[in-house]
Chain A
């Protein structure tokens, strides 16, 4: 069964703290893709990153970093030195398969991050 679990419903931090958002996925496919999207208070969904199942290298983009571990089926997202503008709902998502992939994204429940000044 395909599933994405974001166990943290809400996280509150003070500005400049580091914060990690957890994502655990389930899939039977050997080829799959993982995504993170940000949903700020304005409501739109903003793409942050895509990672395929064959690339376990961690990625860093500015204050953002992602840790992909197939052994634990996790794809965690860390924000370093958080800022108030990082306040949003963050969704982890899964897309399965390769040649048969139609682009369908399976989303987790989302984690609401509040960064206080």
Chain B
């Protein structure tokens, strides 16, 4: 069964450093998303992406964040200068169609900023 994969599973970084979280969506999916979940809290939408463009972003997704699809398979989330409050689980998701369709989530990357 096809699945979304994410690497690394856990990333530890120092405050102010740049991090790139990587995702490989399901191969025939065209719509991609990033969400984050601060420990013990709800899952929060960050950004949706289609056709090499951001479709929608939340207020959390400020200038420190960027997304890219550098090739035909990877989808990345970059945080330019990490802050302590960026510590969270980051989930990538993909769906085969635009809109309110089933999103398949990856296992997440736990980001710890020290």
Chain A residues proximal to chain B, CB less than 8 Å: 32-33, 37, 42-47, 50, 52, 91, 93, 95, 98, 101-110
Known: A43-B108, A44-B105, A47-B103. A101 touches B43 (CB 8 A): no
Q: How far is the CA of A11 from the CA of B3 in the complex (A)?
A: 30
Residue of B with least CB distance to A43: B108
Q: How far is the CA of A106 from the CA of B44 in the complex (A)?
A: 7
Give the size of the chain B interface in residues (CB under 8 angstroms): 28
13 additional A-B residue pairs with CB within 8 Å, beyond A47-B105, A52-B100, A109-B42:
A33-B100, A45-B105, A91-B43, A93-B43, A102-B50, A102-B55, A102-B98, A103-B98, A104-B33, A104-B45, A104-B48, A105-B43, A107-B43
Most buried by B among A33, A104, A106, A109: A104
Residues 76 to 106 of chain B near chain A (Cβ within 8 Å): 89, 91, 93, 95, 98-106
Give every chain A residue within 8 A of B48 (Cβ-Cβ): 102-104
Q: How far is the CA of A106 from the CA of B45 in the complex (A)?
A: 7
Residues 25 to 50 of chain B near chain A (Cβ within 8 Å): 31, 33, 35, 41-45, 48, 50
Residue of B with least CB distance to A98: B99
Residue of A with least CB distance to B43: A107
Residue pair A50, B100 in contact (C-beta under 8 Å)? yes
User: How many Å from the CB of B25 to the closest CB on chain A?
Assistant: 13
Residue pair A43, B89 in contact (C-beta under 8 Å)? yes
Say which residue of A95, A107, A110 sits within 8 Å of B100 (CB atoms): A95
Residue pair A108, B100 in contact (C-beta under 8 Å)? no
Give every chain A residue within 8 A of B99 (Cβ-Cβ): 95, 98, 101-103
Give every chain B residue within 8 A of A44 (Cβ-Cβ): 105-108
Q: How far is the CA of A42 from the CA of B62 in the complex (A)?
A: 29
Q: How far is the CA of A45 from the CA of B35 in the complex (A)?
A: 11
Q: How far is the CA of A46 from the CA of B48 in the complex (A)?
A: 19
